[in-house]
Amino acid sequence: MATKIKKIGVLTSGGDAPGLNAVIRAVVITAHQKYGWEVVGINGGFEGLLGDPSLLRPLGLVDVINILPQGGTILGTTNRGHFGMSEERPGELADPAIADQAVAFCHEQGIDALVTIGGDGTLQISYQLEKRGLPIVSVPKTIDNDLLGTDYTFGFDTAVRTATEAIDKLRTTALSHNRVMVIEVMGRDTGWIALYAGIGSGSHVILIPEIPFTIDSIVKQIEWRETIGAMFSLVVVAEGAVPADGDTFYRGDREEGGMKRLGGIARWITEQLSKKVEHDVREMVLGHLQRGGSPTASDRILCTRFGAKAVHLLAQGRSGTMVSLSGTSIQAIETWKIVSRQKRVPFDGDLVQTARGLSICLGD
């Protein structure tokens, strides 16, 4: 059932990803031009809903001129803060009263509905606010591409391009020195970035969290490459990849209100390989480089389609949904069906089979 909307809010939440501004632009233009709605930007993600009106800013057409190709987010974002999830009650906010406060603030400010742009954390919070009567449509963002319910999230394509270009550059230096380069990419507990960038760059070993690996399998691959006259190797490792006889690598402790930071696997592999192969072995952590810069054309188009669709869904009264890419069309999927569920690389999917068919070592 369609609802009477006059003003919507838009916010970006979680880690930044290329394309956030492109979504904001599509939301603002569609809301103004097609429906005559006002739009307010909420600064600082959900934190901007905690009672301080100075964090709200009207967004008109003039405010979104030129932002389509810009990385980052004009609204700012945070992946920690007051909206942390409870560890004892899965799917619930640690402080449920915070959600009541946010919804009350929206009512006070005349915000009839929200477009929330973010990853799983954003979906979880959105779901809680929606349950308290605030209409919300979410837009799936993450360079990790690990959200269920959509073929791709925006930001992923740009991150893969950045990682692939970086690996291309590392290839020429590896080749010149007959070295093994170990390149750590992001992705949290999924191997989408590693697999895409690894295949896209013609890497020789790709290690993903979905397939536990052994050092011996990497050594075997390096030695096999020597027998075919290839004296260098490129090893791409997802930050969440796990040794078959070990644990996930984390950097220090969890930051307050945030998730535990992954990292360190490339260094460990480099140390292990150095003991077992003749080559020099060097490591490179691509890190936040993968989140920065201007979105690819493909991401810009996806963001524009997602942003416009989010507004149409609100107009149709179809809140409680996330926009999604299914094949070639943009759809809506109910948030409750996908919230807190992760999309992992299928062990026997065609990507994995393609890699195996090309003699890429997957570590098992």
Q: 38 or 144, CB closer to ligand F6P?
A: 144
Least distance in angstroms from the C-beta of 264 to ligand F6P: 12
For residues 361 and 178, is the Cβ–Cβ distance under 8 A?
A: no
331 binds ligand F6P (CB under 6 A): no
Least distance in angstroms from the C-beta of 16 to ligand F6P: 8
Pick from 38, 47, 112, 144 the residue near ligand F6P by CB under 6 A. Answer: 144
d(C-alpha 279, C-alpha 270), whole Å:
11
**Binding piece for ligand F6P, criterion CB under 6 A, among 66-74, 141-149, 272-280, 293-301:** 141-149
Pick from 25, 141, 225, 291 the residue near ligand F6P by CB under 6 A. Answer: 291
Quote the tokens at residue 320.
């409680």
For residues 140 and 149, is the Cβ–Cβ distance under 8 A?
A: yes
Pick from 69, 79, 217, 292 the residue near ligand F6P by CB under 6 A. Answer: 79
Note if 364 is an active site residue: no
C-alpha triplet 134, 82, 263: angle, nearest 5° = 115
Quote the tokens at residue 325.
């890419």
Q: 56 or 186, CB closer to ligand F6P?
A: 186
**Binding piece for ligand F6P, criterion CB under 6 A, among 5-13, 142-150, 310-318, 328-336:** 142-150
The Cβ of residue 213 has, within 10 Å, a number of other Cβ atoms equal to: 25
Compute how many residues bind ligand F6P; rule: CB under 6 A.
13
Does residue 126 sit in helix, strand or coil? helix
Strand partners, 183: 236, 284
d(C-alpha 115, C-alpha 23), whole Å:
10
279 binds ligand F6P (CB under 6 A): no
Provide CB contacts within 8 A for 239, sequence distance 6+. Answer: 184, 185, 186, 187, 188, 249, 262, 263, 265
Pick from 143, 302, 308, 361 the residue near ligand F6P by CB under 6 A. Answer: 143
**Binding piece for ligand F6P, criterion CB under 6 A, among 24-32, 140-148, 306-314, 326-334:** 140-148
| Given the residues 144, 146, 157, 299, the one annotated as active site | 144
Least distance in angstroms from the C-beta of 27 to ligand F6P: 22
Pick from 40, 49, 55, 186 the residue near ligand F6P by CB under 6 A. Answer: 186
Q: 38 or 184, CB closer to ligand F6P?
A: 184
d(C-alpha 33, C-alpha 245), whole Å:
57
188 binds ligand F6P (CB under 6 A): yes
6 binds ligand F6P (CB under 6 A): no
d(C-alpha 171, C-alpha 202), whole Å:
9
Pick from 13, 21, 138, 142 the residue near ligand F6P by CB under 6 A. Answer: 142
Give the residue closest to ligand F6P by C-beta.
Answer: 186
d(C-alpha 147, C-alpha 10), whole Å:
20
What does each C-alpha distance from 312 to 20, 32, 218, 277 come to in angstroms? Answer: 18, 12, 50, 57
Give 94: exposed, middle or buried? Use CB within 10 Å, 0-12, 13-18, 19+: middle
Q: Which residues bind ligand F6P (CB under 6 A)?
A: 15, 79, 142-144, 186-188, 239, 258, 261-262, 291
